[in-house]
A and B are shown apart, each in its own frame.
Chain A
Amino acid sequence: MTDKRLDSSTPDEPSGFVRALDERGDATVGTVGQGLAPATTRRANPVSRLIGHPAFGWIVIALAVALPFINSSAYAIRISTDALIFIMLAVGLNVVVGYCGLLDLGYAAFFAIGAYTSGVLSTTFGWPIVLTVPFVIVAAVIGGLIIGGPTLRLRSDYLAIVTLGFGEIIRITANNLDFTGGPNGVYGIPDFGDFGDYRADIATYWIVVVVVGLAVLASSRLGRGRLGRAWRFVREDEDAAEAMGIHTYKVKFAAYVTGAIFGGLGGVLFAVHQTAISPPSFNFLFSALILMAVVLGGMGSTPGVVVGAVIISLLPELLRGAENWRYLIFGILLIVVMIFRPQGIWPHRTDEKPARGGRRRSRTDATEVSQ
Chain B
Amino acid sequence: MDVHYLLQLVLNGLFVGAFYGLVALGYSMVYGIIKLLNFAHGDIYMLGAFAGYTMLTIGAGALGGGSIVALVVILVIAMVLTGTVGLVLERVAYRPLRSAPRLSVLITAVGASFALEYGVAVGYGPNPRVYPVGFGNGAVDIFGARLTYAQLFMMLVALGLMIGLDMFIRRTRSGRAMRAISQDPKACLLMGINVDNVISRTFFIGSALAGAAGVMAGAYYGKVDFLMGFIIGLKAFTAAVIGGIGNLRGAVLGAIVLGLLESFGTALLGSEWRDVFAFGFLILFLTVRPTGLLGERVTERV
Contacts and interface: CB of A to CB of B under 8 A. Distances in A.
Nearest to A154: B290
B58 interface: no
B115 interface: yes
A33 B84 CA distance: 59
A157 interface: yes
Contacts of B117: 327, 331
B107 A157 contact: no
Nearest to A156: B102
A295 interface: yes
Contacts, number: 130
Given A331-B112, A338-B105, A339-B96, 11 more contacts: A103-B103, A157-B37, A160-B39, A164-B234, A168-B275, A284-B230, A288-B114, A324-B122, A328-B118, A331-B113, A332-B115
A149 to B, nearest CB: 7
B302 A338 contact: no
A18 B122 CA distance: 62
B283 A295 contact: no
Q: Is the interface of B mostly helix, strand, loop or mixed?
A: helix
B273 interface: yes
B97 A338 contact: yes
B206 to A, nearest CB: 16
B234 A150 contact: no
Interface residues of A, number: 46
Q: Is the interface of A mostly helix, strand, loop or mixed?
A: helix
A334 B35 CA distance: 20
B122 A158 contact: no
Given A165-B234, A291-B107, A172 B276 contact: yes
A172 B104 CA distance: 29
Nearest to B96: A339
B234 A328 contact: no
Nearest to B285: A150
30 contacts: A101-B101, A101-B103, A146-B283, A150-B283, A150-B286, A154-B286, A154-B290, A156-B102, A160-B37, A161-B237, A162-B283, A162-B286, A165-B283, A168-B276, A169-B275, A169-B280, A284-B230, A288-B110, A295-B107, A299-B103, A324-B122, A325-B122, A327-B121, A328-B115, A330-B118, A331-B119, A335-B93, A338-B104, A339-B96, A342-B100
A184 interface: no
B54 to A, nearest CB: 18
Contacts of B108: 334-335, 338-339
Nearest to A149: B287
Contacts of A95: none
A72 interface: no
Contact of B121 (A103, A149, A151, A328): A328
Contacts of B39: 160-161
B100 A172 contact: no
A312 to B, nearest CB: 13
Interface residues of B, number: 47
A342 B97 CA distance: 10
Contacts of B276: 168-169, 172-173, 176
Given A157-B37, A331-B115, A331-B117, A324 B107 contact: no
A186 interface: no
The 5 tightest CB contacts between A and B, nearest first, are A334-B111, A331-B114, A331-B115, A150-B287, A165-B279
Contacts of A256: none
A115 interface: no
B63 interface: no
Nearest to A167: B279
Contacts of A101: 101, 103
Contacts of A325: 118, 122
Given A169-B279, A172-B272, A331-B118, A339 B286 contact: no
B100 A335 contact: no
Contacts of B102: 156-157
A164 B279 CA distance: 9
A15 B121 CA distance: 66
Contacts of B110: 105, 288, 291, 334
B106 interface: yes
Contact of B238 (A165, A291, A338): A165
B6 interface: no
Contacts of A158: 241, 286, 290
A165 B37 CA distance: 14
In this complex, which of B105, B113, B118, B280 has the most chain A Cβ atoms within 10 angstroms of its Cβ? B118
Nearest to B245: A158
Contacts of B106: 103, 157, 160
In this complex, which of B110, B230, B279 has the most chain A Cβ atoms within 10 angstroms of its Cβ? B110
